[in-house]
Structure 1
Amino acid sequence: MQFFIIILYLMTSIPPIFTASPYERFCRHVKSGDCLAVDMWFGQYKAQRLFPMKCSKIPCPEGSKCDDGEACWKEIKELNKFHLVKLIDGQWK
């Protein structure tokens, strides 16, 4: 029981080292050009961050996401399966 209390204390007293979720990527919004965080689980844009972040140099269309290689991508559903498509030379492939 004492071990559990110590662990609980450490978890609540130490500031978090990582402030961003590992499930986020950063993209430029096509309309505004703002760098936004995209929640990879829910596909939703989050608020603009106040600290420096890696942001895609290219704008991705609304509803798509960008990966670390700075390529836009999205999932499409065909029949009962989801497929990943990437934006290459202005075309979804």
Structure 2
Amino acid sequence: MDVGYALRKLQAALVARGLGPVHRSEGWNMGVLSVRAEITVWARPHGFHLTTPSVGTTRHPLVEITELAELIVRCNEDLDAAGR
């Protein structure tokens, strides 16, 4: 799967779930999504790399867009709840 395509699909899935603004940058067959200060996703040809405060960095296949979006939404909700 194309890295840019996968990253744009992930961004669209996150925006559809109410997250935003989500900042995307692409170039040289890789890209990054900044969801918030604590949540960053790098996309490279071998997969997504998700960095969150509770787990650190985990790797996910580019085809797991829906599953990754759900992890990010849950992490964002947990961070929001902890900030209250």
Normalised by the length of structure 1, the TM-score is 0.28
Larger Rg: 1
User: Which is bigger in relative contact order (C-alpha 8 A, separation at least 6)?
Assistant: 2
Which structure has greater helix proportion? 2
